[in-house]
Amino acid sequence: MGVNEDTLQLQDEFLSLAAVDNFEECYSRDIKDGLYFGLPLQPIIEAEKRLRMPVASAKSIAYFSMEYGLASSFYNCLVSSRTANADNKIQEHEVFSNYRLADYFFTLKSNKIMDLPIYSGGLGVLAGDTIKTMADYRLPAAAIGILWNTGYFRQRFWFKYGQVPEEMHWDPATYPGLIPLKNKIKISLKFEDIYLRLWKYYVYSYDRSSVVPLILLDSNVEENNEKVRHLTDQLYRSDNSWIKLMQRIILGMGGIVALKELKYNIDIFHLNEGHAIFAFVESVKGLDKNQIEEMRKHFVYTCHTPVEAGHDRFFSEDLNKIIKKEDYEVVDHFGREKSWIINLTMLSMKAASKINAVSHSHQKVMHLQFPKYEDRIKYVTNGVHSHTWISDRFMSLFKQYPGVFKDIQANPMILSRAGELKKDLKFRESLWQAHQANKEDICGFLSKWGLSKDVLTICWARRVAAYKRPSMIMQDVDRLIEIAKEYGPIQIIFAGKAHPKDNLGFTFINEMLERVDKLNGVYNLLKIIMLENYDISLAKMLTSGVDIWLNNPLPPFEASGTSGMKAILNGVIQVSTLDGWVAEAADKNIGKIFGYRSEEGKLSSEEDLHMPDDSKALYAALEEMAGLYYQTNNKGTVDLPSRWIDIMIDCLAAGADFNTYRMLDDYKRIVWNIP
Ligand SMILES: *Cc1c(COP(=O)(O)O)cnc(C)c1O
């Protein structure tokens, strides 16, 4: 057979496994010649076949999550031959700063393909990193999510007004790698049937030899009434309990029906947060008590937050109006908190056979919050996907030391040996240069603002939520200016979206914009840059190139946190409170730990942010770090033996523990029970 026939056969085989809607008109040019939007088609065929095999040797996993953070702008980029829809690109980022030469605002032009707009923050990025790692590990796995037709939201800063959320629009039909299937599924509810279209997006391993299919559910089909069609519009944007419940029902029940429709045989149903718990309700339809017990063994549940708003509660009567009697009885049995309240966290804990927190400190908090389940609540500390988050320059640096970082591609845990290079001046110099080059990328990106690679640069970037205390570093700007006068100038970069319904988060952004606005005539000492629309590609640039990654959540409310993990993989030093993953790295010399510590064995309040004391402690920490930084980087001349570079190396070594490979090894052992 000739090459053409071979690849034609691949295309046919693919189409027999994935019934692509509109194939001829829209996708036939991107799925041909053995390629799928530029990447190999063969691994897709293998994954599709493997998931359809009867459950046998290798246990298969279905991972359910409300959100997935996947950026095709810089990792395993899928490309389409169709002209990119302008809506699927990031056109610009607005910037707000204390730079006064022209205007407060400048716009950064950008032309990159936007992240798949189906996530809001860390939870989604973790889900994305998890399925990428499942592909790297060649696990038989599928992921289930929702196709959010209008994404999360687009953030605008308005002067004197703060963050203004704008609806975003994108075009799923032309997003590279995303394909609609002909398959439609039906969920039967009490008073109506609703229909969902299935989409697929294939997530490749780093070496592109295996994939995990991500199935996205979409209620925007003509069979549904207008209200139902809009259910999969916006992620986390509604307060309306009918909408919230229906979205959870779509993810859970819809997910199970979708897996059946695709003939995937699944062993383990992994619920990333309680949002997906209706998957259990769907799975036990028509089963007797013993069979339900048996089914529980197949369900595992990961809890991601100690914050009250993260636990879903609904009026039982609202749910009773939506789902059928037999389904309601299951929810009632497992998830009734009070006679009139259904609690999805409780439902998840009672239904799942395994429960885990996402860090050791989060496990302790969960034990206090849910003492009845203490024995069953384990922990698996989160991680980040090293292939996504280690910058190219650092990866090449590691590859220059194959004796130490042997096989780092497949095994980032080898980073634990970084300390062996501490005395190697050549390594220290290359490390510093790689860091400076990454930092120059940021300075180049923000060139209008005149940033310098030889100025201490601090970044705070993540979701803006009260417990993360975004404005802490701005509590006393005069103090920052004093530190800058004493040791050297400071550059601060800030980015993050506040949930539009989170009034407190919103207030933080206003407060910061106002403080930046009041800064006058100090631009040579203190530059503060606020970037709109934080996303994964900004995260990649910032976590790999600033000097200090600032993380100041109120302990013990950060279940894990992951952005600092991205930073340490690039030798970026931490200034952090003792919370989440940092508590497990505090003795690893990753930077400076400061501030309030929650009392062991006691649940403290989310209300008291400890802002005055902790901001003072932060300034003291920054003073020390600024001193050390300017001893290390003296106007561009680096002091290679400096303790700063020791800390950078210790950060790299700590990265061995905080990646998704270690995390999946733990899930296999502790939660999934697979070899
Ligand atoms: C990593 C990441 C987060 C999570 O940051 P935390 O500090 O863990 O809260 C949020 N948003 C984006 C875009 C990220 O890449």
Tell me the CA–centroid distance for residue 543 and ligand 1, in Å: 10
The pLDDT tens digits of the residues spanning 228-242 come to 999 999 998 888 999
Whether 121 is in the pocket of ligand 1, judged by its Cβ within 6 Å, is: yes
CA–CA distances in Å: residue 316 to residues 322, 324, 339, 581: 10, 13, 8, 36
What's the rounded Cα separation, in Å, for the pair 188 and 194? 7
Is residue 4 predicted with pLDDT exceeding 80? no
Whether 541 is in the pocket of ligand 1, judged by its Cβ within 6 Å, is: no
Which tokens in the block code for residue 107? 């716009």
Whether 391 is in the pocket of ligand 1, judged by its Cβ within 6 Å, is: no
Tell me the CA–centroid distance for residue 303 and ligand 1, in Å: 17
pLDDT of residue 488: 98
Is residue 159 predicted with pLDDT exceeding 70? no
pLDDT range class, residue 3, cuts 50, 70, 90: low
Is residue 104 predicted with pLDDT exceeding 70? no
Task: Give the mean model confidence (pLDDT) for residues 220-230.
Answer: 97
Tell me the CA–centroid distance for residue 122 and ligand 1, in Å: 4
Collapsed DSSP state (helix, strand, coil) of residue 669: helix
What's the rounded Cα separation, in Å, for the pair 485 and 37? 53
What's the rounded Cα separation, in Å, for the pair 675 and 666? 11
CB 652 within 8 A of CB 619: no
| Pocket probe mutation, ligand 1, options 74, 116, 125, 467, max atoms within 8 Å of Cβ | 125
pLDDT of residue 21: 97
Atom of ligand 1 at shortest range from CA of 551: 7
* Tokens 């300017």, residue located: 630
The pLDDT tens digits of the residues spanning 263-298 come to 999 999 999 999 999 999 999 999 999 999 999 999
Which of 72 and 207 is assigned the larger pLDDT?
207
Which tokens in the block code for residue 426? 């050549």
The pLDDT tens digits of the residues spanning 113-156 come to 999 999 999 999 999 999 999 999 999 999 999 999 999 988 88
Which tokens in the block code for residue 600? 């062991």
Collapsed DSSP state (helix, strand, coil) of residue 238: coil
**Final residue in a domain of this structure, among 237, 272, 307:** 272
Do 462 and 593 share a domain, yes or no?
Answer: yes
Do 606 and 474 share a domain, yes or no?
Answer: yes
Whether 125 is in the pocket of ligand 1, judged by its Cβ within 6 Å, is: yes
For residue 146, the cross-strand partners are: 217
> Looking at the domain assignment, is residue 385 inside a domain?
no
**Residue 265: CB atoms within 10 Å:** 16
Do 407 and 550 share a domain, yes or no?
Answer: yes
pLDDT range class, residue 308, cuts 50, 70, 90: confident
> Looking at the domain assignment, is residue 383 inside a domain?
no
> Looking at the domain assignment, is residue 386 inside a domain?
no
What's the rounded Cα separation, in Å, for the pair 56 and 51? 11
What's the rounded Cα separation, in Å, for the pair 98 and 449? 9
Task: Give the mean model confidence (pLDDT) for residues 630-634.
Answer: 98
What's the rounded Cα separation, in Å, for the pair 310 and 121? 13
Task: Give the mean model confidence (pLDDT) for residues 414-431.
Answer: 98
Query: Which residue segment(s) compose the domain that 69 sits in?
Result: 3-117+140-272
- In the chain, how many domains are there? 2
Determine phi and psi for 147, rounding to 5 degrees.
-85, 100
CA–CA distances in Å: residue 82 to residues 25, 26, 171, 442, 446: 11, 8, 13, 31, 31
| Pocket probe mutation, ligand 1, options 70, 381, 386, 463, max atoms within 8 Å of Cβ | 463
Which of 83 and 663 is assigned the larger pLDDT?
663
> Looking at the domain assignment, is residue 451 inside a domain?
yes
Whether 533 is in the pocket of ligand 1, judged by its Cβ within 6 Å, is: no
**Final residue in a domain of this structure, among 243, 272, 301:** 272
> Looking at the domain assignment, is residue 173 inside a domain?
yes
What's the rounded Cα separation, in Å, for the pair 613 and 434? 36
Atom of ligand 1 at shortest range from CA of 564: 7
Is residue 1 predicted with pLDDT exceeding 50? no
Whether 561 is in the pocket of ligand 1, judged by its Cβ within 6 Å, is: yes
Please name the residue whose Cα sits nearest to atom 11 of ligand 1: 121
Please name the residue whose Cα sits nearest to atom 3 of ligand 1: 122
The pLDDT tens digits of the residues spanning 160-219 come to 677 888 889 999 999 999 999 999 999 999 999 999 999 999 999 999 999 999 999 999
Please name the residue whose Cα sits nearest to atom 15 of ligand 1: 536
Tell me the CA–centroid distance for residue 562 and ligand 1, in Å: 6
Alpha helices in 63-176 (DSSP H): 122-136
Atom of ligand 1 at shortest range from CA of 538: 13
Task: Give the mean model confidence (pLDDT) for residues 61-79.
Answer: 95
pLDDT of residue 245: 97
Is residue 323 predicted with pLDDT exceeding 80? yes
| Pocket probe mutation, ligand 1, options 74, 362, 563, max atoms within 8 Å of Cβ | 563
Tell me the CA–centroid distance for residue 118 and ligand 1, in Å: 14
b/e code 459-479 from CB counts within 10 Å (16+ = b): bbbbbbbbbbbbbbbbbbbeb
Which tokens in the block code for residue 419? 């300390």
Query: What's the chain's average pLDDT?
Result: 94
Tell me the CA–centroid distance for residue 287 and ligand 1, in Å: 40
The pLDDT tens digits of the residues spanning 461-494 come to 999 999 999 999 999 999 999 999 999 999 999 9
What's the rounded Cα separation, in Å, for the pair 148 and 172? 9
CB 562 within 8 A of CB 581: yes
Whether 122 is in the pocket of ligand 1, judged by its Cβ within 6 Å, is: yes
Cα–Cα–Cα angle for 277, 283, 287, rounded to 5 degrees: 125
| Helix, strand and coil percent figures for the chain, each rounded to 5 | 40, 20, 40
Is residue 571 predicted with pLDDT exceeding 80? yes
CB 232 within 8 A of CB 147: yes
The pLDDT tens digits of the residues spanning 512-568 come to 888 888 888 899 999 999 999 999 999 999 999 999 999 999 999 999 999 999 999
> Looking at the domain assignment, is residue 362 inside a domain?
no
**Final residue in a domain of this structure, among 228, 244, 272:** 272
Atom of ligand 1 at shortest range from CA of 540: 15
For residue 213, the cross-strand partners are: 202
The pLDDT tens digits of the residues spanning 386-395 come to 999 999 999 9
Which of 665 and 158 is assigned the larger pLDDT?
665
Is residue 102 predicted with pLDDT exceeding 70? no
pLDDT of residue 667: 98
Is residue 582 predicted with pLDDT exceeding 60? yes
> Looking at the domain assignment, is residue 187 inside a domain?
yes
Whether 496 is in the pocket of ligand 1, judged by its Cβ within 6 Å, is: no
User: CA-based Rg of the chain, rounded to a whole angstrom?
Assistant: 25
**Residue 137: CB atoms within 10 Å:** 17
Task: Give the mean model confidence (pLDDT) for residues 250-272.
Answer: 97
Whether 539 is in the pocket of ligand 1, judged by its Cβ within 6 Å, is: yes
> Looking at the domain assignment, is residue 497 inside a domain?
yes
Tell me the CA–centroid distance for residue 186 and ligand 1, in Å: 35
Looking at residue 655, which CATH number applies to its domain?
Answer: 3.40.50.2000
pLDDT range class, residue 365, cuts 50, 70, 90: very high
Task: Give the mean model confidence (pLDDT) for residues 597-613.
Answer: 91
